[in-house]
């Protein structure tokens, strides 16, 4: 039986940003970082992706130190390189710089082959009014579902 793979999600990103497009990327990690992620020790909350030179980097991804490691443990919030094809980096660069969008990690997971992948969202920030409108829509959907459920009893 296959062991379930832990997944980290950035729930606040979908609330604060409008996701226009997604992009899957690999991430360069050290051994203790992978072990810590398998135990579920990570946090995507304040992290974001940026382009430096011709490469894509992820900043502020918090991976807790691996508890069984010795003095060779990793730094908790170091800058990590994202592994993406050149064409995708060029396309992303134009979107971020020209349209003033942001690359925010939405999800960090292990794929079928056991590799760590990160789902980046190309996002535009939401205004306060947009957030309120989304909340009203969610509440209306909940009310409708509740009414249907009660009517079917």
User: What pLDDT is attached to residue 2?
Assistant: 57
Helices (H), 104-153: 128-151
Which overall architecture, per CATH, does domain 8-126 show?
Beta Barrel (2.40)
What distance in Å separates the CA atoms of residue 128 and residue 58, rounded to the nearest whole number? 27
pLDDT tens digit sequence for 29-46: 888 888 888 888 788 888
Q: Residue 1 pLDDT more than 60?
A: no
Mean pLDDT of 109-135: 88
* Cβ atoms 94, 39 nearer than 8 A: no
Q: Report domain extents, the chain.
A: 8-126
User: What pLDDT is attached to residue 25?
Assistant: 93
pLDDT tens digit sequence for 52-107: 888 999 999 888 888 777 777 777 788 999 999 999 999 998 888 888 888 999 99
């Amino acid at each position: 039986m296959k062991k379930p793979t832990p997944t980290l999600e950035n729930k606040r990103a979908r609330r604060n940003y409008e996701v226009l497009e997604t992009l899957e990327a690999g991430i360069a990690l050290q051994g203790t970082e992978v072990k810590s992620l398998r135990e579920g020790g990570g946090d995507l909350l304040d992290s974001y992706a940026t382009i430096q030179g011709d490469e894509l980097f992820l900043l502020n991804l918090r991976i807790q130190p691996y508890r069984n490691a010795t003095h060779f443990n990793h730094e908790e919030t170091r800058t990590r390189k994202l592994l993406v094809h050149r064409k995708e980096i060029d396309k992303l660069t134009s979107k971020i710089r020209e349209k003033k969008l942001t690359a925010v990690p939405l999800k960090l997971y292990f794929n079928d082959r056991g590799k760590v992948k990160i789902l980046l969202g190309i996002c535009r920030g939401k205004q306060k009014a947009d957030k309120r409108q989304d909340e009203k829509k969610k509440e209306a959907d909940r009310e409708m579902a509740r009414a249907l459920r009660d009517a079917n009893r």
